[in-house]
Amino acid sequence: MTQTPGSTNPPSLRPDLAPKPRLGEAPRDGQPTLGMVSLGCPKALVDSERILTRLRAEGYGVSPDYSGADAVIVNTCGFLDSAKAESLEAIGEALKENGKVIVTGCLGAEPDYIREHHPRILAVTGPHQYEQVLDAVHAAVPPSPNPYVDLLPAAGVKLTPRHFSYLKISEGCNHKCKFCIIPDMRGKLASRPAHAVLREAEKLVDAGVRELLVISQDTSAYGLDRKYDVNPWKDGEVRSHIQDLSRELGKLAPADELWVRLHYVYPYPHVRELIPLMADPDNALLPYLDIPFQHAHPDVLRRMARPAAAAKTLDEINAWRATCPDITLRSTFIVGYPGETEAEFQHLLDWMDEAQLDRVGCFKYENVDGARSNDLPDHVPEEVKQERWERFMEKAQAISEAKLEAKVGQTMQVIVDDIDEDGIATCRTKADAPEIDGNLFIDEGTEGLQVGDLVTVEVDEAGEYDLWGVIAS
């Protein structure tokens, strides 16, 4: 078999990025139109979807390019200084190409910083400040709705492919990690009531979504701020708790017709209660946990102000695998954190050997304006960060390659993400989230496939990050 050249998931891919937004149908004649640039993580992409849904309901259209839009909204990211620079560049490009620009998102929490670089912008709002964005749009481009034509899709405006959707269950975070300023930008944990999340999920599934990607800043803490209140749902009740929510999401459709994937799950003790759900063949909750471990050495974790229980984490991982042998574990790590010694980094590599995580992303530490880690002593030189990143990724790649090689000969369900003009289908297994994990390619016999199909394949070849297979007879 000839392997498809080049994986779409190289090891340098930043794990904080959402898929590129997909804009919808062309606007009608005379319809006021807006451009949208959505940067950063999936949580920001959901914010963009909500903004466009509100605007679409008021009669606005969405333009796929700057020149055809009456104004442009730039939803910014402020996760790292490099992300801030990317946001400023996107604002500058929108100003150059269009001239009327409204800024929102995480970097919008620093309006003076933005206006210092781009004084011509029309307005700046912070993250999830939907009403203020609408006010700014109304001032720049008055609405002109046509109630006979401007019909809003039942699931709202989606910027992802039709077959998968992000489902945001909470805003904010109660952690005070020294390297992160997200709580300063997005505030403390604020969970949505369980029945509201489930209603949205049900609408998405009814509209044809085959995969729900559950996201938040801290998914395991969902409902803590609500004291795990009880909500009416169907003929019974459901707590605002990740265990109840996951169970009910997994019952929205048969397990062979729906995937439910959990992201950003901190390894709290109660996470172990989710694992039997993942092992239940009748529940659509995937055996997949995306857990931001960040590091493994207890001293580095303490300097990060993270829970320092790496040894217990290995015990938890072993317990999860004992209950659900098929579970996929994905995580992200930071190398070159201030004060990280060679011995601490080697400890991380040794931990990786023991943990044998399936999917791994890695950042080189960056200062972020306002983060407490900036003031820590003994910052690691850039060339040492790069060298450690390369060694870490070499380790992660070797583990990934061995794990994928062990899947050759297995039969598994995949979801079809794309079919190119040559008939090559790009798919994902249950072990692969969009954009951040690997792919499975089918390069023959794809004539009857459509994007969004869930099909059974036999794996016949493996690479460093991706698989190749044939449709099972």
Summarize the confidence of residues 195-216 as an average pLDDT.
94
Per-residue confidence band for 1, with pLDDT thresholds at 50, 70 and 90: very low
Q: Rg of the Cα trace of the chain?
A: 22
Measured distance CA(446)–CA(471) in Å, rounded: 8
* Helix, strand, coil percentages for the chain (3-state, nearest 5): 35, 20, 45
Summarize the confidence of residues 218-238 as an average pLDDT.
95
Question: For 120, how many CA atoms within 13 A lie in the half-sphere containing its CB?
Answer: 13
In a 3-state reduction of DSSP, which class is residue 165? strand
Round the average pLDDT of the chain to a whole number and report it. Answer: 88
On the question of pLDDT at 117 being above 80, the answer is yes
All structural domains of the chain? 33-140 (3.40.50.12160), 164-406 (3.80.30.20), 410-471 (2.40.50.140)
Q: What is the pLDDT of residues 75-116, one digit of tens each?
A: 998 878 888 899 999 999 999 999 999 999 989 989 999 999
Summarize the confidence of residues 212-239 as an average pLDDT.
94
Binding residue per annotation — 180?
Answer: yes
On the question of pLDDT at 407 being above 50, the answer is yes
Measured distance CA(223)–CA(240) in Å, rounded: 5
The partner residues of 33 in beta bridges, in order of sequence, read: 61
Residue 308's pLDDT is what? 60
Kindly state the percentage of the chain with pLDDT values over 90.
Answer: 66
Structure tokens at 79: 């996760």
In a 3-state reduction of DSSP, which class is residue 381? coil
Measured distance CA(252)–CA(264) in Å, rounded: 22
On the question of pLDDT at 71 being above 80, the answer is yes
Residue 151's pLDDT is what? 45
Residue 204's pLDDT is what? 92
Binding residue per annotation — 427?
Answer: no
Residue 414's pLDDT is what? 97
Residue 336's pLDDT is what? 97
Residue found by looking up tokens 């909204």 in the block: 73
Strand extents, DSSP E, 146-250: 164-168, 170-171, 190-191, 211-215, 230-233, 236-239
Summarize the confidence of residues 143-171 as an average pLDDT.
69
Binding residue per annotation — 324?
Answer: no
On the question of pLDDT at 64 being above 80, the answer is no
Q: What is the pLDDT of residues 17-58, one digit of tens each?
A: 666 666 555 666 678 889 899 998 888 888 888 888 888 878
Residue 48's pLDDT is what? 87
Q: What is the pLDDT of residues 369-396, one digit of tens each?
A: 889 999 999 999 999 999 999 999 999 9
Question: Do the Cβ atoms of 74 and 170 come closer than 8 Å?
Answer: no
On the question of pLDDT at 139 being above 70, the answer is yes
Q: What is the pLDDT of residues 325-335, one digit of tens each?
A: 999 999 999 99
Binding residue per annotation — 362?
Answer: no
Give the pairing of strands 211-215 and 259-262. Answer: parallel
Greatest extent of the chain over all pairs of C-alpha atoms, in Å: 67
**Closest listed residue to residue 442, CA positions, set 409, 407, 466:** 466
- Prediction pTM value: 0.83
Measured distance CA(404)–CA(361) in Å, rounded: 16
Summarize the confidence of residues 212-236 as an average pLDDT.
94
Measured distance CA(407)–CA(467) in Å, rounded: 9
Residue 236's pLDDT is what? 92
Measured distance CA(354)–CA(399) in Å, rounded: 11
On the question of pLDDT at 6 being above 60, the answer is no
